[in-house]
Structure 1
Amino acid sequence: MALTIHVADELRLVWDGPDVVPGGAVAVEGDRVAAVGLPAGLQERFPGARVRRWSGVLGPGLVHEGPLPGAPTPRERVHELLKLGVVAVRAESVTGSGLRAAAERNGLLVLSAARPTAIEPGGRADLAVFDGDGSCVATVCAGRLVHRRR
């Protein structure tokens, strides 16, 4: 399985918690978080891993509540969410015209109820990186990079 270490200016394991790790990193193996920590330690632990460096704050991907953004096709509607750092949607938001299938094809979780998000070893690798103005730089769903701002 390919292993990737995502490094950012700042790491937050939860968005609403006080803990911030400057220069923190998340090692991702397959669709799971293998470890969190500082880049040097993770690179030593996982030699040969691909390293992706991001400017901004790396944290758990977001859960979208409410209707999906408008776009011509279900795939494009889901992509609009990925561009916002979303990795999960509520089931009632993806009921029509191929939306659920498009969400699942792109790795989005379809949830029956909202849940808090966190980055934890062994958990699903759902990550998002945001820059200083809050714009999403990158989204990772189940370990797969599904959005990267150019």
Structure 2
Amino acid sequence: MRTLHSAELLLPGPGPGPGSAPVPDGAVLVEGDRIAALGPFADLAERYPHARARRWPGLLTPGLLVRGADDLLERTYYPDDPYEVAELGADPLSRAAALEELKMTEARWGNSARRGTQKLLARGVVAVTGRFTVPAVRTAVSRSGLTILPPAAHEGTPSLDPLAGRDAAGQAFYGVLETGAPARFAVFAVADEAELLERGATTCVATVISGRLLHRRR
């Protein structure tokens, strides 16, 4: 089935070529796990009148990449809401002393990683870098749909928000949106790239990986 994802502004990705120019009222046509076409919504809707249409508010961009995700998922614990929040609080726990008190097991790390990957998907993340040594964590990341890449150099402390500290949103993009490319992208409830940088990835309203809608803000 073909699905036409459209937004008020389409940002195909960084680059000097004409294919990187923003497209007002733009759209991405997804067929299977690939991008079949992209461009102005009106043009694609006319060419593919039987495609299922999903209309999103804001800015549609390539999905985001988080570096150092092993720190975020193997050395940070995400309390189970609502069962643990009263005791542990809602914030992630990463201090060695706090983790020691939790007496972490592989199963508990796996459950935490599943909650962590949901937080990443809710921020438009489609790929992560890191070396995962806890089998249950690696399984959780693989099953989430996120692409796992080898460890890569990164500056500062890894963050759930890959836009934090960036000078341009393109620095956090994973790939570009073009015909034939994998259908992995995100939509943010902002007007443009400047607002996206200002407000961050928590403005995400939808994340698509391999053509599948894996996060949708309720």
- Report TM bin, short chain: 0.7 to 0.9
Amino acid at match of 1:112: P
Normalization by structure 1: what TM-score? 0.88
1:127 and 2:185 matched: yes
1 or 2, which has the higher strand percentage?
1
- After superposition, the Cα gap between the structure-2 partners of 1:32 and 1:113, relative to the gap in structure 1 and judged at 3 Å, is farther
Secondary structure at the counterpart of residue 183 of structure 2: coil
Once the two structures are superposed, residues 120-149 of structure 1 have per-residue CA deviations (whole angstroms, 9 ceiling, x without a partner) of: 111111110111244111100111000111
Q: How far apart in 1 are the matches of 2:29 and 2:121?
A: 21
Q: How far apart in 1 are the matches of 2:175 and 2:185?
A: 10
Deviates more, 1:118-127 or 1:94-103: 94-103
Residues 8, 57 of structure 2: 8 Å contact kept: yes
Partner in structure 2 of residue 149 of structure 1: 217
Query: C-alpha displacement at 1:109, in angstroms?
Result: 0.8
Query: C-alpha displacement at 1:50, in angstroms?
Result: 0.8
Once the two structures are superposed, residues 26-55 of structure 1 have per-residue CA deviations (whole angstroms, 9 ceiling, x without a partner) of: 001111011101112212222311111111
% identical aligned pairs: 47
Partner in structure 2 of residue 96 of structure 1: 134
Residues 68, 78 of structure 1: 8 Å contact kept: no
1:106 and 2:144 matched: yes
Cα RMSD between the aligned structures? 2.1
Deviates more, 1:15-24 or 1:97-106: 15-24
Residues 11, 22 of structure 1: 8 Å contact kept: yes
Secondary structure at the counterpart of residue 72 of structure 2: coil
1:71 and 2:71 matched: no
Q: Structure 1: any 5+ residue segments left out of the alignment? A: none
Residues 27, 35 of structure 1: 8 Å contact kept: yes
Structure with the greater alpha carbon radius of gyration: 2
Amino acid at match of 2:22: V
Normalization by structure 2: what TM-score? 0.62
Q: How far apart in 1 are the matches of 2:15 and 2:58?
A: 17
1:8 and 2:7 matched: yes
